[in-house]
Amino acid sequence: MSPGLPPVIAIDGPSASGKGTVAYCVARRLGFHYLDSGALYRTVALAAMEAGIDLDDESRVSAIALNANIGFKNERVWLGSRDVTEAIREEKVSEGASRVAALRGVRAALLERQHAFRMAPGLVAEGRDMATIVFPDAVLKVYLTAGAEERARRRYKQLIDKGLSANMTALLQDIHARDARDSGRAVAPLQRSGDAIEIDTTGMTVEEASAQIVSCYGQALRAP
């Protein structure tokens, strides 16, 4: 941990590994701030798409990442004065987010924004490169994963619970494709940090996974 800076718990993992829900639950248990870094990439993609910018145009998308008025308030995500919490979860925005996340300029522009979430008493940050790039000095680094089929099942349930239609085979294919894209890209690929603990949440509840992380955090603090 860096002396004088609030502690960070970095949680990374593949898409639909449950890291969002688990990270949020850990933050609640500890009374820490919470950063959903994927929401930043998603909101940049949405803003660029709405401005009619080509998502491969690195300098224009990076300018959006640098200047867009993105805010998190009361568990909602804002773009200027507009609540975009639901809009950024749409499939076309998910696709766009994975494209803009591959741009070096966008990642650099979002770095400062992410550091700004590090406030007392502490931060739980989740994404793909929290432990490796954004908060390499995190007190605890967790790599959260789950089998692809389990992740597809969770997504299926989420969609059905929302009253939407879903197809397991298509969801599983989508998860494999996203894993390949996130892990295979040249810039900041998803990878487990060498000093991260790996937790496989297959068959675990959110409460069990978050309790395990809180316990590991306590041990990390006590470690010499």
Q: Which residues of this chain interact with ligand DC, rule CB under 6 A?
A: 15, 37-38, 41-42, 97-98, 101, 127-129, 182
CB of 65 to ligand DC, least distance (A): 12
CA dihedral over 19, 21, 79, 141, signed as positive or negative: negative
> Three-class SS of residue 46?
helix
Q: Can you give the C-alpha Rg of the chain in angstroms?
A: 17
Angle between helices 37-50 and 58-67 (to 10 degrees): 120
CB of 155 to ligand DC, least distance (A): 11
CB of 146 to ligand DC, least distance (A): 14
Residue number, 18 or 38, with CB nearest to ligand DC: 38
CB of 222 to ligand DC, least distance (A): 29
CB of 185 to ligand DC, least distance (A): 8
Residue number, 137 or 215, with CB nearest to ligand DC: 137
Q: Kindly write down the DSSP assignment for every residue of 153-184, as one continuous string.
A: HHHHHHHHHTT----HHHHHHHHHHHHHHHHH
Q: What are the strands, taking DSSP E only, across the chain?
A: 8-12, 33-36, 70-73, 76-79, 82-83, 123-127, 140-145, 197-200
Residue number, 63 or 188, with CB nearest to ligand DC: 188
Residue number, 11 or 139, with CB nearest to ligand DC: 11
CB of 37 to ligand DC, least distance (A): 4
Contact 26, 201 (CB under 8 A): no
CA 168/CA 155 separation, integer angstroms:
9
Neighbours of 165 (CB within 10 A): 6
